[in-house]
Structure 1
């Protein structure tokens, strides 16, 4: 039960706080975020730690709407798996990693564990982000990071701009192909994902806020 001080300010229930070691690195701090801030997502991009609070309900609805046709096309069977919030180890820095909202990975991804509950980018066929409070990372930082890691397809559902961006053909730290789709339209994912999948932009973006 929460305690009250004499000034009637309500305090959260006490729980032991994990302390960072004196020589803590970014990974150590990310672990502290995981332990002390449930639901928050810590990522390290370009040597910088970013922490994202829990997304809203419509964000989760969009992910469910996307997973349905992916599963219907057999992408969660023999050769591939569809996984939400799976860590991808990035080659852009010593401790860099990201946690995309959704990914299609090779079925043997468990054999390619890298570090810190993250997996080798070679097993990722697609990563997808639905924008929330970390929109600038999804639009500006992650395209270069995912391209550098060689992820073949990066899909961004930009809820604020009401558009879906599909990035393919990674070369160096950029994607050479960029396709833009707006509400009312449909788009197909590249067959390299593991199946020909058609998605509706409205389903990816969810209702306008």
Structure 2
């Protein structure tokens, strides 16, 4: 059966990587290739950056042997080859050293982190496409900081391209990040950013 026009990739992964390689640096870090489609992540605002920095500090305090790598490019080979740029990828210190290029293997990444941006594509990208892509890539935990609903959503137990466990907590509540992350995240500070 021939895939419909909507199901066909817009370009090959190789063409996408060549496009990223030739793009100006100001655009390069905004390009993603999810489910065969070229995506442009919106430029994050100051609150987005503050939330990512807060998460980075929480991870360093709770698990000093790990690092939350911001804007990490990951190969997420779902049913169609893909490339996603996570707002954060939690992995052991120096985990990505030695990997060639800006798109790293997701193997060994313990958690992918996304903070929603204030744009029209956030729903599809952060709540549908990325959880599916990260689960298919075998990343054990996906943490979504959802600014629209003022909650953190923890996806865990990836199997067959989906996360079987989804836990939602409002900003201000504590949420357990399951193994292999293995620590509690007190989200009280996020209430300040939501105001």
TM-score range, shorter chain: 0.7 to 0.9
Per-residue CA shift, 1:130-158, capped at 9, x if unaligned?
00034120101011110000000000011
- Give the Cα separation in 2 of the matches to 1:57 and 1:31: 27
Q: Give me the CA root mean square deviation.
A: 2.3
Aligned length: 179
How much has 1:87 moved relative to structure 2?
A: 1.1
Alignment partner, residue 138 of structure 1: 126
Higher-strand-fraction structure: 2
Instruction: Give deviations 1:78-137, integer Å, cap 9, x for gaps.
Output: xx3221111111112665111110111133523662x64111111210011000034120
Alpha carbons 2:89, 2:113 under 8 Å: kept:
yes
Structure 1 length-normalised TM: 0.76
Which one of 64, 89, 101 corresponds to residue 53 of structure 2? 64
Alignment of 1:167-178 (within 5 A): 167-178=155-166
2-structure distance, mates of 1:124, 1:96: 16
Find the aligned partners of 1:204 and 1:65 in 2 and give their Cα distance. 9
Which sections of structure 2, spanning at least 5 residues, go unmatched? 1-13
> Which structure is larger by alpha-carbon Rg, 1 or 2?
1
Who is 1:208 aligned against? 194
CA deviation after TM superposition for structure 1 residue 172, in Å: 1.0
Instruction: List alignment gaps of at least 5 residues for structure 1.
Output: 1-23
TM-score by length of 2: 0.81
